[in-house]
Amino acid sequence: MNEASELGVERPGRWDKPFDSNMSDEHVRSVLKVAPFSLIDAQKFPKSMPLAGILKNDTRLVTYKRGDLIVREGDYGSSAFFIMSGSVRVVVDSEATKLADKALGRTPPKEKNWKEALSQLWTNAKVPEYRASVKFVGNAVPGGGAGLRTEAGNTRVFLQDVSAVLNEHKTVQLHEGEFFGEIAALGRTPRTATIFAEADGVELLEIKWQGLRDIRNHAPQIREHIDRIYRERSLLIHLHETPMFAHLTNEQLEAVAAETQFKSFGNFDWHASYKTVIERTASSRLNDEPIIVEQGDYPNAVILIRAGFARLSEIIGNGHRTVSYFGRGQYYGYREVFHNWKNDASVPYQFTLRGIGHTDVLIVPSQVIEKLVLPTIPKEQQPWFAIESKTTSGSDQLAKRDQQNRVGTDVLEFLVENRYINGTAAMMINLDRCTRCDDCIRACANAHDNNPKFIRDGKQVGNLMIGHACMQCQDPVCMIGCPTGAIHRETLKGNVVINDLTCIGCGSCAASCPYENIQMVETRNAQGEYLLDKATNRPIVKATKCDLCLEQITGPACQNACPHDALVRIDVSDRIDLVNWVKR
Amino acid sequence: MHLFGHRRYNRPNQKWECGRAAEGKACSLGPDSGGKCIIKSECKPVRDANGFQCARPTQLGGQCPTGPLPDGSCCLQIPPCSPRRTTRAKRQLLVLLTAAFSIGLCFYFFGVSSPHRGFLSGGSLSNRHSSIKHQCSSCHATVEGNVINWVLSAKHPNVQSQKCLECHSMSPHVFSPHGVNPTVLAKLTEVRHGDGKPVEPGAKRMECNTCHKEHRGFQADIKTMTNNQCQTCHAKSFKSFANGHPEFDKFPFRRRTRILFDHSSHFGKNFDKAGVKDMRCQTCHAPDSAGQLMVVSGFKQACAQCHSNQIHGVDQLEKGLVFFRVPAVDLKTLKTKGINIGEWPEDADGALTPFQKILIANDDRFSTAFKQVPDVDLTDLGGLSDADLKAVGQVLWGVKSLLADLAGENSKHLQTKLEKYLKHELAPAELALLAGALPPDVLRNTASAWFHNLKAEVGAFHTGRLTATHRFKQPKDLKDTDVDWVTAGGWYRNNGDYTLRYRPIGHADPFIHNWLDVAAASYAESKLSKGLFDSLSSRKANAGSCMKCHSVDAVAGAAGASGGVHVNWHSKSSDNEPKTFDRFRHVSHFSLLGNTGCLTCHSINKDAEYEKAFVGRDNTVFESNFQPIKKATCVACHQSDRAGDSCLSCHNYHVGEVLSSQSSFKKVQTSMDGDEQTAAAPAGAVPVAVATPAPTATPTPTPTPTSVATPVPAPTATPTPKGD
Amino acid sequence: MITFRKRRMIGVSVSLVLATLFIVCYRKLTDNLVSTATCSGLLLFGFILFLAAYNGRKRITFLPLGKSSTWLQFHLYSGYLCIVLFLIHVGFRTPHGGLETLLAIVFGLVAGSGIVGAILSRMIPRRLTQRAGTIIFETIPLLRRELKDSVDALILNSIELTGKTTIADFYAYRLASFFVGPRNFWSHVQGSERHLSRTYANLMGLKRYLSHDELTVVERLADKVREKDNLDFQYSLQLLLKYWLFIHIPLTFSLIIIGLFHGIYASLWT
């Protein structure tokens, strides 16, 4: 897995269109004057990708007014920030989430009680997509309300009463020359805090994740900086969550952490490219997926998936056949390492592990495992099936595998190719049972003020169909780039929901959803006429999607309403559930 | 659903959809909630610096090529459509209509008046009831008038059964199982169950419709009942008739025959002696109208050939029945005591006849005297007190004035006496019968022949101007009635012993027949009647000797009182045999008889001492001429897969006199001509003052004329039910 | 998660047990000369109400009243039991009265349509899936129209292309009507494809009069016919799936109403 090849594929797409066309060379120069950029040895960068180029194409300078929210806790972001001038405030106390919500006019969802639930029978609107109000006019909440401000085409949310917020909440100040948001950017993890500009004219350098990654790769001090932060903040926790390491003492765990390297593979905004990718042949698609470890190589490390997905495949004839897929928290290579440690005859990696879309992995070298982990490994943590000899013919193996994961290869490939593995609540419909009665849609509409939130249609494999309903992705790319944070993870169940009031109908989420599960709708008044925007006379549009009936007592209405057990909201990564349901 | 490359939600939950959806040209907006088309144009152009601009958003097709019209209106005006209901909305509409229709229908039928309620009836009635079609209220008391009345009229438990009884007169205990008197039922079940768990009297009230379910079509048999249903009450249940049904006991004999006829002796010798050829059962027996019983075809057909002469008493001169006699009297004593009885023949012989006693006892002028000396021996009056002698004198005058009355111009005297005796008015016809068409002239001659101036004497006696005592003058040249006349039957005189006699004119002689009935009727109460009956019915051959064949049953008296008697004038028939639990239709079995004929079932029992049973008057002591019939005989055919073995094929549910509605016709008739008796009297009986009582020791007092209509179930007579 | 087979086993056996129970009770009671009319009637009515309640449950989706599929299971099996109860109530006889007959007929229709519906709901989806996956019923008219437009276009430029109207005429006389609206309902329900092969035969018959580039047009036309037939197939079967309820549900309501009336009426008439 050499990056050149990977970048080679990627570059053309990447620098055709710069992050921000306003980023001029003198801007770049001005950036290069300030530490730590001034300290970076530009010579270390490959000709193909000079530091200046990166700064020009992958970064931009943004100025904020006092109170403007820069990042919001829980949001997804694909870029890190470097403070050029001024200072920002990080809300660190437990109230932070509340602030984020209040500030954004998000009313934290609450489950309806019976009366409220029943009242939907008569309170639901008669016309589709009826809206009493469509615009978020900041709401006065203690600790500062928030407002929407559109400036040079992009909408900003700002705190109306900064001083109040400062009094109300515990905040930390960040100053010139400091980074923030880099972990979230690289690790595809939610923002951990809400940060806002303390005064007018705060200037920040926003660095796209690709840029940040490349700089990190070639500038040791940046790498150390980032890795340090990461190790401090989340590595230990992540390792600890991994069953393989559960039995280690903190010292041992720290030792492991010290040896662990992390790497990210694939394309960070895969969701943009994937629609074109899916058109191509299976093999060519597979070739684009960066190889993490290759079948036949010596197993020198165990790979932990930290974010994103990986495909496990084996060579059958001239092609690869998907055996399994891994999501966050799962790992590969342990079995081989264990085997080699136990027996003198060593085996290579049995399968090929590829990054699907964007994959972020931790690499734990096998020596570390052998030294620290295996000697004290409890019985239950040992691999429960031995490695079978590779002598058996491919077809035999096919049969064998199909017995192991009874979903059938076709279904497996289907789920992986279309990235449905991303879904924790995918709408799966058994078309052999579905009578097309639309009870699911009606139930959905009942639960959402007479508006369906999904489309009973979608890609099919055999008798299975994945409906166009938000599947609550592990990696919710839709949240990237929402200008107002209208789409966010709510605090009740952690579902991704859209806050209708703050949604400005820009459609970025709908565009970035790879599954077409977010639909833009034209809002209407009680008479059923479109609500028109005064300025443009165009209907006011809102992004809508399934919220898994967050506020309903019943849970997902669609699933409950299906008379024939044909529809289920299923966590695709939970293979047991999947098999049980498909084979029911 | 794609539109201009955008996915759009389907909204099957909406009530209305664009009228052009069918042609696939639905507008993006669609109708409003009321199903009104509200879209005017594709967009509402917006004005900016350089004029009007098309405002159609991309997701609805984007800017149109032509752009807005100069006046700023959209170039793509949309003519209004007529929106259609969505599939589901259509269904809901249909639901509403159907529901409304149904409700309407119901209300209509609730509203309509009874003649049109046919539709509501539970179905056509069985053919027997089909005549009361559409008159719901004749059975359903609670549905007079319209629905409000129904609701108001509270639900009475047994009102319907009561309605049934309006046509069907039933046992007074009709609501007790089998219509049997509960206490009796208790006794019976106690006997049967033997486990000391009898059916409590009145434990179950059986409504008619428990078994008789109507409205099941014209053909429906509403009287049927399954074996299981019988066995739910009957504790000792068994599998089938062949398998478990109790053996018959003495079937079918419950009592001695009414007519004494010894089959074995007749077939054995009598017929041969009399040289009667080929006597067969059917010579004397024929099925009754119902085809059930084999009734005897009657005297003429069966017996007359040999027995009519016996009744006439051919060559038995003294056969006549003495109606009136001048009794022998101890004239000396009377003379010495100076009691004047007028002239009296010394050579008179014999005592007063029961007839005379009755008539004198019921003569106001002599009843007191007679009561004083009812059974005095007239031939020896010595040792009687003067008072008694005086009474005797009176009685003897009673004899004379009786004769005088009978010889008198009118029958008034006789009538009054009889009426006093019978305690009711006499119709002329009855008088004639009781008087046996007694010709007055015969009496006058007799009177003048025996007592020359009887009229004067009796007149004097009554007026109290009785003076001289006439010596009795022996009558001269008295001629007895010619023998041939005598043997011809009827009235005749015997001067030798001063008797007036009657000879029966044949079988069922009305005179004797009626006097027997009369006597039997008051047998219990009056000594005189008893005397008369005993004399008439004593089997020592006197007039007619009816009792040689006609058995006499004792009739249990009402509590305390001594019992009466009943003469069985008729052999067994559906009229004198109460309906029992058993049923056998002879006719249906004829086809099955082999060459053994009736003997197949009825084999004569030679050793039976048949006649012995007829000495007494208890009809339950008997020995039949025939062997009892065994269950096996019936089982041969009566099995589920052959002739059938349903309980009902041999057993009746309702016992006692059960009158189906046609018998209410009888009632109607009787109520029309007020004469209950005619209706009540068994067929073929001569019209007499007293109806033939049912031949049973009934707990009810001596039967009343209407006794036919009232059932008389009684422990002794009611055959013990089989199989419980 | 209990498999469908197991669930069916349980459902069938339980309802069989109940059915026999009902019948045995009925026999015992009638033997005891107890009239079962009232209690069986009430029980039957109760069952019918419960069955109808499923419709209500479908409306009130936002209350946790149990999964619709669970309800359906109960609905199905108590539906079958209902038939047994009905037979008991009428005493295994054909009713004679006008009202009774009417009720019986309505019940028959409701029960019958129910059974038919159950069968359809199990069979049709498979057929739909086997052939051409899912098309949403409401979108069919749109697709039909788009198809028609495309065919018209095809024909028109075939005329331009070839200068001959052979195909056009054939289309005008034989095919145009086929593309306009839904067609061949019954043959689709029966799963027959005779109509299709006939059309093909006609098309192929046309070939011998056609030039080379006309042939390509015919090929394209054939594809379009295939597509349209597919739409018809989807339309017919989905229509069936939706419209059997047009008998089942409305009649259920009149069944309840008339049944209620019948009950009141019977209790009044003593």
Write the pLDDT tens digit of every residue in B527-560: 889 888 888 887 664 555 788 889 888 887 766 6
Task: Give mean pLDDT, residues C73-81.
Answer: 96
Query: Which residue from C minimizes the CA distance to A467?
Result: C134
Peptide bond between residue B252 and the one before it cis (omega within 30 degrees of 0): yes
Residue B112 has a pLDDT of: 66
Residue B348 has a pLDDT of: 85
Answer whether B9 sits within 8 Å of A522, measured CB to CB. no
Instruction: Residue count of chain A, please give it.
Output: 584
Give tens-digit pLDDT for A542-565. 999 999 998 899 889 999 999 999
CB atoms near residue B500 (< 10 Å): 23
Give the C-alpha separation, B84 to B18, whole Å: 6
Task: Give mean pLDDT, residues C102-112.
Answer: 96
Give the C-alpha separation, A375 to A386, whole Å: 18
Task: Give mean pLDDT, residues B104-128.
Answer: 77
Residue A403 has a pLDDT of: 56
Whether C240 contacts chain A with CB within 8 A:
no
**Confidence check: pLDDT of B371 > 70:** yes
C-beta of residue B225 within 8 angstroms of C-beta of residue B648? yes
Give the closest-approach CA distance of C246 to chain A in angstroms.
13
Residue A33 has a pLDDT of: 85
Answer whether B38 sits within 8 Å of A527, measured CB to CB. yes
Residue B487 has a pLDDT of: 73
Answer whether C249 sits within 8 Å of B99, measured CB to CB. no
**Confidence check: pLDDT of B715 > 60:** no
Give the C-alpha separation, A1 to A291, whole Å: 6
- For residue B502, which of B322, B290, B267 has the smallest C-alpha distance? B322
Nearest to B1 among C35, C136, C258 (CB): C136
- For residue B326, which of B493, B530, B527 has the smallest C-alpha distance? B493
C-beta of residue A322 within 8 angstroms of C-beta of residue A435? no
Give the closest-approach CA distance of C64 to chain A in angstroms.
5
Residue B17 has a pLDDT of: 92
Contacting residues of A for B9, CB less than 8 Å apart? 128, 451-455, 519, 521
pTM for the whole thing? 0.78
Give tens-digit pLDDT for B404-420. 888 877 778 888 888 98
Mutate: best of C109, C253, C267, partner B, most B CBs <10 A? C253
Joined together, the tokens standing for residue B363 give: 């003569």
Give tens-digit pLDDT for B25-59. 888 899 998 999 999 898 889 888 888 889 888 88
Give the closest-approach CA distance of B91 to chain A in angstroms.
13
What does DSSP assign to residue A323? Answer: E
Whether A446 contacts chain B with CB within 8 A:
yes
Answer whether A536 sits within 8 Å of B55, measured CB to CB. yes
Nearest to A457 among C67, C121, C134 (CB): C134
Residue A428 has a pLDDT of: 95
Q: Taking all residues of chain B, what is their mean pLDDT, rounded to a whole number?
A: 79
Taking only residues 70 to 109 of chain C, the set having a beta carbon closer than 8 angstroms to any beta carbon of chain A reads: 71-72
Q: What percent of chain C has pLDDT over 90?
A: 68
Angle at A469 between CA A467 and CA A475, to 5 degrees: 115
Give the C-alpha separation, B473 to B489, whole Å: 31
Contacting residues for B262 by C-beta, under 8 A, at least 6 apart: B610, B611, B625
Residue B688 has a pLDDT of: 33
Answer whether B59 sits within 8 Å of A445, measured CB to CB. no
ipTM confidence score: 0.85
- Mark the ranges of chain A whose per-residue pLDDT is less than 50: 1-13, 139-143, 389-394
Give the C-alpha separation, A392 to A374, whole Å: 30
Residue B347 has a pLDDT of: 83
Give the C-alpha separation, B324 to B500, whole Å: 5
**Confidence check: pLDDT of B198 > 60:** yes
Give tens-digit pLDDT for C17-62. 999 999 999 998 988 888 888 899 999 999 999 999 999 999 999 8
C-beta of residue B567 within 8 angstroms of C-beta of residue B517? yes
Whether B280 contacts chain A with CB within 8 A:
no
Give the C-alpha separation, A415 to A430, whole Å: 15
Residue B556 has a pLDDT of: 78
- For residue B470, which of B381, B400, B410 has the smallest C-alpha distance? B400
Answer whether C63 sits within 8 Å of A463, measured CB to CB. no
Task: Give mean pLDDT, residues C188-198.
Answer: 91
Answer whether A439 sits within 8 Å of C58, measured CB to CB. yes
Give the closest-approach CA distance of C212 to chain B in angstroms.
34
Whether C69 contacts chain A with CB within 8 A:
yes
Classify the phi-psi angles of B658: left when phi > 0, otherwise alpha if psi is within -120 to 50, otherwise beta. Answer: beta
Contacting residues of B for C261, CB less than 8 Å apart? 106, 109-110
Answer whether B17 sits within 8 Å of C249, measured CB to CB. no
Give the C-alpha separation, B66 to B54, whole Å: 9
Residue B592 has a pLDDT of: 84
Residue C117 has a pLDDT of: 96
Contacting residues for B157 by C-beta, under 8 A, at least 6 apart: none
Answer whether B38 sits within 8 Å of A530, measured CB to CB. no
Contacting residues of C for B142, CB less than 8 Å apart? 268-270
Helix (H) or strand (E) holding A151: strand A146-151
Whether C138 contacts chain B with CB within 8 A:
yes
Q: What percent of chain B has pLDDT over 90?
A: 8
C-beta of residue A542 within 8 angstroms of C-beta of residue A453? no
Residue B142 has a pLDDT of: 67
Whether A18 contacts chain B with CB within 8 A:
no
Answer whether B95 sits within 8 Å of C142, measured CB to CB. no
Chains that touch B (3 or more CB pairs under 8 A): A, C
Mutate: best of A122, A428, A435, partner C, most C CBs <10 A? A435
Give tens-digit pLDDT for B608-663. 888 888 888 888 888 888 999 999 989 988 998 888 888 888 888 888 765 555 44
Contacting residues for A510 by C-beta, under 8 A, at least 6 apart: A478, A516, A518, A519, A520, A543
Look up residue B117 and give its amino acid.
Answer: R
Give the C-alpha separation, A61 to B665, whole Å: 120
What 3-state DSSP class applies to B565?
A: strand
**Confidence check: pLDDT of B98 > 60:** yes
Nearest to A557 among C61, C71, C125 (CB): C61
Residue B673 has a pLDDT of: 44
Give the closest-approach CA distance of B308 to chain C in angstroms.
57
Give the C-alpha separation, B60 to B28, whole Å: 7
Letter string b/e over residues B375-401, b meaning 16 or more CB atoms within 10 A of that residue's CB: ebebeebeebeeeebbbbbbbbbbbbb
Residue A522 has a pLDDT of: 92
Contacting residues of A for C64, CB less than 8 Å apart? 553-554
Taking only residues 298 to 317 of chain A, the set having a beta carbon closer than 8 angstroms to any beta carbon of chain B reads: none
Look up residue A170 and give its amino acid.
Answer: K
Contacting residues of B for C141, CB less than 8 Å apart? 21-24, 26
**Confidence check: pLDDT of B667 > 50:** no
